[in-house]
Copies of this chain bind each other. A is one copy, B any other.
Amino acid sequence: MESDSEFIVVGGGVAGLSVAIELLDHGHDLIVVDPDPGGGTSYVAAGMLAPASEVNYSEVLMGKLLIEAAQYWDDFVKVLESYTSLDCGYERRATLLSATEHGDFDELMRLQSFHKELGIESHLMGRSEVLDLEPTLSPKVIGGLYTPKDYQVDNRVVLGRMIEIVEGHARIVRARVKRVVRTAQGRYQLRLDNLDVVEGERVVLCNPMISPEEVLSGLLDEDLARAVATRPVRGEIIRLRDTQKIGPSVCVRSIRHGRWNYIVPRTSGEVVVGATQEEVPLMNNSLPKAGGVFDLLYDAIYSVPSLREMEIVELSSGYRPGTYDNYPNVGELLPNLYIHSGHYRHGFLLAPYTASLLVQAIGRRSNANFSVRLQRFTEILDPYRRLQDGR
């Protein structure tokens, strides 16, 4: 079977589906190609939209990108809601960072100074204030940092909505891309593992598991291929069920001896506990390891003891696509062939925003013949330059 479309989006996780939604919303014609749309790492993720909690000290510009991306979520949900009347899983539930040791509380104080520098709202709290706010915390807590704008999205709910919208207005081909070939007319042909071929004018690579170097073999400059390579950063995550309604009402991120843990309660009664981080080779269908699950339960139960009584619904593991500098790969690799992946720990937070930036840039180009290249070498999408310039 041969299919034809203006855009071919390779990847049906949060990165690919965000691009697909933005393309749809700008009136483009597209096909998404993914063997298991909504599966993979996006399915495993916790869906935190938490710039205040997730920012790293040294990464001021990344901090600003995270803030902008978090603000964009309100707009993105409006886009989704223009296509569906169903709930999209966006939860404006505040986050509380909690500490049980003085060294860890110092860390929260340092984090707050950084928040001030970045213009992020956060409030330091003493023990009784923290326990008033969240009585399910262990009395061992000594203080916390309240970040009222660190929200969440139920990743599985929003992935479901995005898939419904894309399938309602475009097409998802359930197959894996084996090879991308450029035709004599400068169009792209994608050879799929089910022997089908899809052809299009423009391609957006959004699946970090598909190596650009491999599928674009012979087309891509070696340095560029190396620059956009991602490494898998494994994470284990636990899903609990709070049938007795004994869990926290805010999202709790605890730090203990410098190690972070998160507990994300959802309206559905699901409570997500995560996440380990391990730089290991990618293994297919890999199951969570006993040590990782143990560490997660240790930290989570230490911070919110009532978690003991919740049922374990699911243990899973996924691979965050890490880039060499933690910034996502967003830009043009070859004429009309774009990359939008490598969002690392921030897939749900960043992807809708970077997708909107990419689609806008592509739009400007087709109007103004503007050159969009790999983010690190472009003025449009390079977050360093863009943000340094105050744009």
- Chain A contact residues, CB within 8 Å of chain B: 238, 240-241, 286-291, 293-294, 297-298, 300-301, 307-313, 315
User: Lowest 10 A-B CB distances belong to which pairs?
Assistant: A291-B308, A287-B311, A294-B297, A290-B310, A288-B312, A290-B307, A290-B308, A290-B312, A289-B311, A240-B290
B294 x A309 contact (CB < 8 A): no
Contacts of A290 in B (CB 8 A): 238, 240, 297, 300-301, 307-312
Contacts of A298 in B (CB 8 A): 294, 298
New A-B contacts (18) at CB < 8 Å, excluding given A241-B287, A289-B309, A290-B309: A238-B290, A240-B290, A286-B311, A287-B311, A287-B312, A288-B311, A288-B312, A289-B312, A290-B297, A290-B300, A290-B301, A291-B308, A293-B293, A293-B312, A294-B294, A294-B297, A294-B301, A294-B308
Contacts of A313 in B (CB 8 A): 287
How distant is A349 from chain B, measured CB to nearest CB, in Å? 27
Please name the residue on chain B nearest to A293 by beta carbon: B312
Query: What are 16 A-B contacts defined by CB distance under 8 Å?
Result: A238-B290, A286-B311, A287-B313, A289-B308, A289-B309, A289-B310, A289-B311, A290-B301, A291-B301, A291-B308, A294-B294, A294-B298, A294-B301, A294-B308, A297-B297, A315-B315
Contacts of A312 in B (CB 8 A): 287-290, 293, 315
A288 to B307 CA separation, bound complex (whole angstroms) = 12
Contacts of A294 in B (CB 8 A): 294, 297-298, 301, 308
Contacts of A293 in B (CB 8 A): 293, 297, 312
A287 to B294 CA separation, bound complex (whole angstroms) = 17
A114 to B391 CA separation, bound complex (whole angstroms) = 80
Contacts of A286 in B (CB 8 A): 311
Please name the residue on chain B nearest to A236 by beta carbon: B312
Contacts of A289 in B (CB 8 A): 308-312
Please name the residue on chain B nearest to A311 by beta carbon: B287
Contacts of A307 in B (CB 8 A): 290-291
